[in-house]
Structure 1
């Protein structure tokens, strides 16, 4: 009798053990989201795409430019875009109201305040073109301090219009060890006639003062083709690893002490440090993704067919499309978003 009872106990134990094993296997095949009593993520692959971070500065007096650029990007892209709108403290409220009270209210954005105190002692006073000394011109130097959550970032000047899908620019391949991709100023034969007609420089000679020993010691040929830092794609990991911001600040400081470049030269004070720091260490942007020089002359024009093919138009130079005189204003004005406060107004010959 005792033996029979012992057998029954063993069989009962085996039965209970088997049931436990079955239950354990079922439970551990369930999604972890359900085990944590969290909702299952049923988003489509499109909804799960990473954001494309685009950095644009919105300066007082030029805010309409920034929002025309934003409008063109948002309208021509099917991707998830996160706009980082950078401004000074006194413009933050205006930026927010412009977005929230216009057709841009549906964009995904973050407003970032830039503290100009980081530039103290690093900018040499220059009366030739004081607009080039505005603090927001140097935001591009400090991207890792402003943008923390992204491996890859697009930076755009405010005087651009994007006619293509920004995803294409974001997909620009950066070579190993390169912190950024720029447009080479000699990359597009179609722009060479424009360069010659208005007397622009597209070599380092036009940006750096080769009479200074510090510049000659760099060992960079003055005939080296320059690049334009008004549109670029940056790798934040490489930027921080190479301490790009510190390098740029070093050359700003040297210029403040030795006047190595100035706004009387082609690119002013923001381009030259980047030409030095990134010399021979940048990847190329597809040429049609940066058609520039539209602001260098109120008379010299590109062909309509060429402009239609362009993915991005850049009015770099003095003649801006929200001002007068300027060229190809129709391509810019179609993306203009009126200022709800009425503060920013277009300047036109009959206004």
Structure 2
């Protein structure tokens, strides 16, 4: 049996260039990007150099900076933002911390430029630079591992820091994305690397070092003598102090690559990017206090399990292993130590809440428009960050990124799924058809401009139609933006052509505005849904 379910979809005015919107049901990728709050603005404490005096001459090459490098991708974005937040919160001079962020050239979900703008929106005053990591330089050197996540090319970016970072950066702290600091990072920065040692890290000499290599390795008399007179100990590469001058002089990148090439021919280890580091640096690492890497909190690489901290002081917590705190917290299955990570989490998604009626209300820093007639049946609503009000006219580069992301999102939506795109596109499609009768039904306002034509071309490419242009209205009822000097139509609702028949009306509400000049658009949809029968008992 089929039944008709009337849904009023409230369409809010979003401003072009901010985080892109896709549809009423936000897809998981965008959901991970849209839920972040802005971090507090951390400033230098007493005894730090005065930023006002150095601002004109300071660059990231300045020796007063603490340099930190991390990788950044869409999958571990939440962990990376928590790590950055923890560093700034506990730093004595947060304005003198510089982050060198390594992003994959071809992130499967979001490109590096979008991630860059997202980081800036979360940390407006952060000192950082994004470097693009070309995965093709390492992809043919990676061998299979015991866990697929360990095969991500970005895990190997640390091998290339001497080549990627600018030559003036001679020293960095490398941090994984699943760490938080609870101490001043400058204390770690001040550790000196003695002699020819290029890296420093906490060593764990009680660990069984032999397990990191295969029997084939240890049975080979030549390979097993690689350590010579060195006394190698296990160390975790997720937290390292690196002298890039010594790194470059020692050609350590080539030495690591040589072991990776051998691994492709002969299986000498199982564990991703760690073993080559152990082979090259084992027994020649500057030992750093264990408090700077209390690792293994994510369990081992096969089984997720809860672990406790060993006795002693803690400066850095590291959820290495399979389990990540944000995943376990979201699944309501956290380990006790995951609660120590939670205060640094800047991802605050809006939880599902039910209200009855057709109203608007404030929810924290957001404005909510919703429509629901019964408590047991959800209809639709939109939450909008109030800070978006009145912000228009963004740079061309930001707009280009918006269209690039929107294009990718629309392409990723299955043809069987329904799409509702809505927003302030800040362009005019006009009233005349002008060869666009397949995407525009003629009930528009004003004259078309070049950007309006580009919007219509976008719709044509994806089989969409402008819903606003489908209903005959009085001229004043076609206007979506009005100021003291202008009135126009720049806010549009888009549907697939095949879903156009589902829309029964498109109107605006004068009483609810996202800004003083934009009018709230409302679209009425009739969606056919299949009512499932309960299986008969007996």
TM range (shorter): 0.7 to 0.9
Which residue is equivalent to 1:12? none
Residue 66, structure 1, aligned to residue 80, structure 2: yes
Which residue is equivalent to 1:208? 213
Q: 1:336 aligns with which of 317, 323, 345?
A: 345
Q: CA deviation at 1:282?
A: 1.4
Inter-partner Cα distance in structure 2 for 1:332 and 1:319: 13
Cα-to-partner distance string for 1:164-198 (whole Å, 9 max, x where unaligned): 111011111101101010110248xxxxxxxxxxx
Q: CA deviation at 1:321?
A: 0.6
Q: 2:157 aligns with which of 124, 139, 154?
A: 139
Inter-partner Cα distance in structure 2 for 1:292 and 1:326: 17
Q: CA deviation at 1:95?
A: 1.6
Which residue is equivalent to 2:22? none
Partners of 1:151 and 1:235 within 8 A in 2: yes
Q: 1:247 aligns with which of 236, 250, 255?
A: 255
In terms of fraction of residues, the more helix-rich structure is 1
Which residue is equivalent to 1:99? 119
CA RMSD of aligned residues (A): 2.7
SS of 2:327's partner is: coil
Inter-partner Cα distance in structure 2 for 1:134 and 1:84: 19
Question: Unpaired runs of 5+ in structure 1?
Answer: 1-40, 188-201, 263-267, 343-351
Which residue is equivalent to 1:160? 179
SS of 1:239's partner is: helix
SS of 1:322's partner is: helix
Which residue is equivalent to 1:315? 319
Partners of 1:319 and 1:326 within 8 A in 2: no
TM-score, L = length of structure 2? 0.48
Q: Figure out how many residues of one structure are paired with residues of the other and give that number.
A: 276
Q: CA deviation at 1:272?
A: 0.2
Residue 229, structure 1, aligned to residue 237, structure 2: yes
Cα-to-partner distance string for 1:8-61 (whole Å, 9 max, x where unaligned): xxxxxxxxxxxxxxxxxxxxxxxxxxxxxxxxx9559xx886111100111221
Change (3 A) 1:339 1:151: farther
Inter-partner Cα distance in structure 2 for 1:237 and 1:301: 37
In terms of fraction of residues, the more strand-rich structure is 2
Inter-partner Cα distance in structure 1 for 2:82 and 2:73: 13
Q: 2:294 aligns with which of 291, 302, 306?
A: 291
Inter-partner Cα distance in structure 2 for 1:117 and 1:240: 21
Cα-to-partner distance string for 1:211-232 (whole Å, 9 max, x where unaligned): 3315324256999531111100
SS of 2:79's partner is: helix
Change (3 A) 1:223 1:108: closer
Q: CA deviation at 1:151?
A: 1.7
Inter-partner Cα distance in structure 2 for 1:224 and 1:92: 38
Which residue is equivalent to 1:273? 276
Q: CA deviation at 1:78?
A: 2.2
Change (3 A) 1:222 1:320: farther
Partners of 2:230 and 2:284 within 8 A in 1: no
Partners of 1:69 and 1:161 within 8 A in 2: yes
